[in-house]
Structure 1
Amino acid sequence: MQKICVIGGSRYFGKVLVGRLQADGHQVTVLNRGSTPPASGVEHLVADRNDEAALIAALGTRTFDVVIDQVCYTPVQAATAARVFAGRTRRYVMTSTIEVYDPATAALPAVPAGTSVPEEHVDPAAWLVAMDLPWHDEAYLEAHYAEGKRQAEAVFARADGFAFASVRSAHVLGGGAQEFTGRLAHYAERIARGEEITVHAKALPTVFIHYEELADVLLWAATTSDFTGPVNACSDGLLDVRDLVATVAAQAGRAPVHRTAAAGGTASPFSFDRHYPMSNARAKELGFAFSRTADWLPGAVAEALALSAAPTT
């Protein structure tokens, strides 16, 4: 049994993770702002992670074997957590994102077509941190999500108070109504109604992961493996937006209708005109066995279609 603190953990794969930790016999503490209480048997601490004094007060004298940070988006948040948890935990695992590799959001080396991005493509230990940017502004943060994650990783990578690892998640799907981004629902609803799907003229492939599999990766990273640094988490198999649309359309019994986005225009979710799919080779070498996207995607699509067909109240 390990003592594990999950920051966030109230919805989607974070909620699944907390359940997995409990089922494995760990002593779990969830720390969040209190909007959603955790399951029975889980200690619940209420604090705003942006308020360092409140965070320290909520933690009291508690220490943990591992902290899993589901909701760190900025270097400012990372610096606060690094100070607060130094000496309180031996290991800190941050949920990060494939978006750290997006060449549209940073000056990154080009990724040759047909290759997948390894972790060293973005090295947090060498990434520039700018604490004085307007990270507290919600509009700025939304527009700079990828950079916020890169810089948060960089702050933790340089912290001395614990061993640090980050899990860079692929695009997460599955869960029906739990999938709060609504991206798969976008396709289910539009295709079921026979509406157009806007795609790039040359849409490039990306990688995905099922929300329950991501919970499993985080569980493994926190309780089984002792790696440090970033690791990519994605199911096997590349998929582009047309493949995704075809899967939804086949289950919906409708012919997909595509419209090509104008140059510089907005396309549907997961339509990418830039190449940055991740490689999951490091995680496999460390011992994690991934599923194939093709195996779970039909079930995720069925959930989204059922949700789109459900009557509204």
Structure 2
Amino acid sequence: MKRKREIIVQKNEEGQRVDNWLTKRYTYHPLEKWIEYINRGMIKINELDVSPDYIIKNSDKVIYYPEPIIEPPINRNYITVYEDENLLVINKPSDIPCHPGGIYFENTLWYILKEKYEYISLINRLDRETSGVMLIAKNKESAKFYFNQMMDRKIEKIYLVLVHGEVKDKLSGRGYLVPAINSKIRKKRDFIYDPSAKQPDGEGDPNRQFSHTEFEPLVTFDNLTLLKCKILTGRTHQIRATISSLGYPVVGDKIYGVNEDYFFKFINDELTKEEWCRLKLENQALHSWKTTLTLMNGDIKEFTATIPPNWSIPNIKNY
């Protein structure tokens, strides 16, 4: 499958030369590079080759075929937990992105599944380093059915997370997620505990999202605790941001772990042996453990994904 990106020209963009339009819209290449790509046939409009001075029109379909890149290796060995004619349930490994993005295309769960199945739609998604239960619809009808369950919060999800420190009692993470303004990491979030917090009517403030997670300690060992997490809202980085803000950083997490500077060292491949030892795991210790939903035939099913063996949890057979 050849990698490509498709963009539809909007009415307020028409009348520009295509090389200038590309340069303004996608600033990661200079004008000279976009002209080169157009002349090499890597840019097509409505499936046809054009010259750099082509004047774009409303509804033109601009197709960009990026140069092949070497993608980082991944773990392709997902485990099938359940399958019928409408739904595939898998245990996703902790080192594979779900969707194409950035430098990942062929080395993604979406691409791997497309090679095997005629139709797929990922009902839920997990971060690249998060493992566990994923739901994949195998046709349009089932995609609509399971997406509606997801949107109506009728699919119950329970996660496991391994954190630094000894958690003795249950913890309630009810409050708000806000941008971490004191962090150097743009996408990082802070959790503000507020037991009286409520879901606002309508969309609410995107920079102050109501969030609710319940945590229960299962196993404590070597100054680490395995927690069961029940999420009652679906927010980006909800579990990791909440439990870290409550004082228990996630094992292996470069953003919400013991030191956020590790994130920049990680992306630049500069982490030392001692820093890796402090992280304890190569990937963040967050796992989608159990998912309960109603199948299209009306049956209620609970699906469980065993945690990665490198977590080394005592009595691991129970999880």
- Mark yes or no: TM-score above 0.5: no
- TM-score w.r.t. length of structure 2: 0.28
- Relative to its length, the structure with more strand (as a share) is 2
- TM-score w.r.t. length of structure 1: 0.28
Larger radius of gyration: 2
